[in-house]
Copies of this chain bind each other. A is one copy, B any other.
């Protein structure tokens, strides 16, 4: 695919565009100006024009953006039209919450199995899944063509599991463990670091008190 030189700052704004454009479609709004988009999304109209220019000319002077076409294009750019098989490792509280997370479908991620290392968790049912023994990760990844792993285990052990699943073929990791995973360059890691977010909140509140 192209778009290699779009900055990560722009990419991280795309989900927001996608969400608001989806809202507009639900309300059956078919065209919108950068000014109106700006009022809704909160970015400046000039930033919006600049961002969307990265993906070709969806805006026309005096017409605005075609909402449906733009929504489709962002969907493709984000790869949301692709399907990925995923597993979740660590079926504790957070893992269970993530398993029930409804956003996977929109992203084309399908969870195929849950794993845990704790003997008391193995065999339990969660939604349609029976929690499997982490010992069998490699076999499952290879047999089910798993590309994505969602890591919801504590800090200790996260790197070891990562090494194993990467060796077995995983190329994308959604990491909730508070640790910087080391991976080969062909593997993508996206971190959700709750502590960093919470500390940022703490900082902002303190300065605001």
Min CB distance, A9 to chain B, in Å?
11
Question: Chain B nearest CB: distance from A176 CB in Å?
Answer: 10
Copies in the complex: 2
Number of interface residues of A (CB under 8 A): 58
- Say if the beta carbon of A195 comes within 8 Å of chain B: yes
- Assuming A93-B100, A96-B93, A101-B194, is B199 touching A80 (CB within 8 A)? yes
Is the CB–CB distance between A200 and B12 below 8 Å? yes
Given contacts A197-B190, A208-B188, contact A202 B3 (CB under 8 A): no
Contact B4 A202 (CB under 8 A): no
Q: Are A192 and B203 in contact (CB under 8 A)?
A: no
Q: Does A141 contact B (CB under 8 A)?
A: no
- Is A167 close to B, CB under 8 A? no
Q: What is the minimal beta-carbon distance from A200 to any residue of chain B, in angstroms?
A: 6
The chain A residues found within 8 Å of chain B, CB to CB, are 1, 3-4, 11-12, 14-16, 18-19, 42, 77-80, 82, 84, 92-94, 96-97, 100-101, 103-104, 106-109, 147-148, 171-172, 174, 178, 180, 186, 188, 190, 192-209
